[in-house]
Amino acid sequence: MQQRPAAATRQSTIERKDLHRLFEVLRARGYTVMGPVARDGAIVWDELSTPDELPAGWTDEQEAGRYRLVRSDGPALFDWTVGPASPKASLHPAAVTLLNARREGPALRLLECVPQPTRLAFFGLRACELAAIAVQDRVLLGGTPTDPVYRARREGALLIAVQCGRAGRTCFCASMGTGPEVRSGHDLVLTELLEDGRHLFVAEAASERGGEILAELPATDTTAAESGAVQAAVARATAGMGRTLETEGLPALLARNPEHPHWDVTAARCLACGNCTSVCPTCFCVTTEDFTDLAAGLSRRVRRWDSCFSVDFTYIHGGNVRSSSRSRYRQWLTHKLGSWHEQFGSSGCVGCGRCITWCPAGIDITEEARALRQDQRGKEGSRGNA
């Protein structure tokens, strides 16, 4: 088939063997390519040199408190959903040095660490991950002041999505309205197809930058059959969602129930380990620590991720505001699904399911919300029958 430069405004089909060109184009434009790799038994994000480093022939099994990366028989590069890591670690790093201080005689010299602009191209973002980046944009750039560390990384970022062709047992992006179809926030979107012995990617640009990059790739016009296969892949992922969350009226329901006995049931299981906040692509809380080397006359101020499950997170003069696991779990869930709306204009949850999979106690945010709702419905039913 005659190949042509891909057009910016329509679907174009790229052969798997030509995917390396995309990486070459990205590097020629000064981007460091970040993407998924299979490592240590999980899909994680790392810097990539070639598409051959992508997790070919791997799929995943997920359930509450369980994750397994297992071999598949096929050559698919994206036959898995999301692993524990997300682009959050690249855009909002787990640890950042804010300030160095050095003693120079009687004086103290402060060396502020100014965030350097970076050009990161994220390849392989899922729809829920794009939605999570949009949430972090609102949190970290949407108000005053903005976060200079995030801004330096986010402004130069190129977002290349790959649509899900299957959903995991802990996924519920469909009920959060964030996936699995990629609708916004991206520069370029690809859908992987294995059709009639061919390994293809159907690509569509969504920004000027994405269109320019796509135009540099060897591609053919996407056929009607290939377009249909893209729609079928998204429909398959939608139908395969392992979880659902009823969001209607949820903020009000949570606000009405701060003393509900179900919080005690969850707290009896919760280890307050903070795994859920570490893996969550929207959690953004940080703390600041100083490290001092008196002998060398050096001091360093570091910002690092913190968690609302940490004992010290809410320590203020004289005590800890949330000293029990019950109050910490309630705060986390109520913020995610309730007060986040008031604060940032959307839910703080994008339905990726990571907090369910990676909770060692198998605590499930969808089940906890459902328990409150069922109790509420039960009460309303009793009143109706009275």
Residues 136-175, mask of contacts with ligand SF4 (x by CB under 6 A): ----------------------------------------
CA pair distance 199, 283, nearest whole angstrom: 36
Give CA separation, 240 vs 94, 169, 173, 182, 243, in Å. 32, 8, 11, 16, 9
The answer to whether 309 contacts ligand SF4 (rule: CB under 6 A) is: yes
The answer to whether 354 contacts ligand SF4 (rule: CB under 6 A) is: yes
Return the closest-CA partner of residue 128 out of 76, 155, 88.
Answer: 88
The residue with tokens 């390519």 is 33
Q: State the minimum distance, in angstroms, from the CB of residue 35 to ligand SF4.
A: 20
Rg (CA), the chain: 23
Give CA separation, 73 vs 58, 68, 157, in Å. 8, 16, 34
For 192, the 3-state DSSP assignment is: strand
Q: What are 171's two structure tokens?
A: 């996924």
In this chain, which of 43, 182, 200, 363 binds ligand SF4, going by CB under 6 A? 363
Give CA separation, 248 vs 110, 165, 167, 206, 338, in Å. 51, 27, 23, 30, 11
Q: State the minimum distance, in angstroms, from the CB of residue 184 to ligand SF4.
A: 17
Residues 242-281, mask of contacts with ligand SF4 (x by CB under 6 A): ----------------------------xxxxxxx--xxx
Give CA separation, 202 vs 78, 116, 320, in Å. 13, 34, 53
Name the residue nearer to ligand SF4 (CB basis): 191 or 346: 346
User: What are residue 103's DSSP bridge partners?
Assistant: 108
Judged by CB under 6 A, the stretch of 112-120, 144-152, 231-239, 348-356 that binds ligand SF4 is 348-356
In this chain, which of 36, 51, 338, 351 binds ligand SF4, going by CB under 6 A? 351
Name the residue nearer to ligand SF4 (CB basis): 51 or 353: 353
Q: State the minimum distance, in angstroms, from the CB of residue 278 to ligand SF4.
A: 8
Strands 32-39 and 188-195, bridge-based pairing: unpaired
Q: State the minimum distance, in angstroms, from the CB of residue 76 to ligand SF4.
A: 24
Name the residue nearer to ligand SF4 (CB basis): 213 or 355: 355
What letter does residue 373 receive in the DSSP assignment? H
Other CB atoms within 10 A of residue 9 CB = 10
How big is the site for ligand SF4, counted in residues (CB under 6 A)? 26
CA pair distance 28, 162, nearest whole angstrom: 22
Judged by CB under 6 A, the stretch of 49-57, 116-124, 219-227, 354-362 that binds ligand SF4 is 354-362
Positions in 279-308 near ligand SF4 (CB under 6 A): 279-282
Judged by CB under 6 A, the stretch of 71-79, 212-220, 361-369, 378-386 that binds ligand SF4 is 361-369
The answer to whether 353 contacts ligand SF4 (rule: CB under 6 A) is: yes
Give the residues lining the site for ligand SF4 (CB under 6 A). Answer: 270-276, 279-282, 309, 329, 336, 349-355, 359-361, 363, 365
